[in-house]
Amino acid sequence: MSTSSRLALGLLLGAFSVAPAFAQVSSQTNDPSAPKTRAEVVAEMNEWVAAGYHLDDGYRYPENAEAVEQIVAQRHAGASTAQ
């Protein structure tokens, strides 16, 4: 085995052994107080809008938000039972 192939093999093995140290931990936790990423917040907001929530409907805020929250929860429950 030549020196260059040994060096390439060593670099490859080193990269594979170091990569798990830099891997990101999954953000799917059971802790509701855990901070969310921007993508998670945008996805959640898109889910609420798809369920009928309107950002400019502030005069019906608590009732509208509670109704949409129930719709989203039912969709999640339906999706989890379908799997």
Is-above-0.75 flag for pTM? no
Query: Which residue intervals of 1-83 are DSSP H helices?
Result: 3-22, 38-50, 61-82
pLDDT at 4: 75
Q: Is the dihedral of CA 39, 43, 49, 50 positive or negative?
A: positive
Per-residue pLDDT of the chain (83 residues; tens, 9 = 90+): 688 777 666 665 566 665 566 665 555 557 778 899 999 999 999 999 999 988 887 788 888 889 999 999 999 898 878 66
Return the pLDDT at 21: 60
Gap between the Cα atoms of 66 and 15, Å rounded = 49
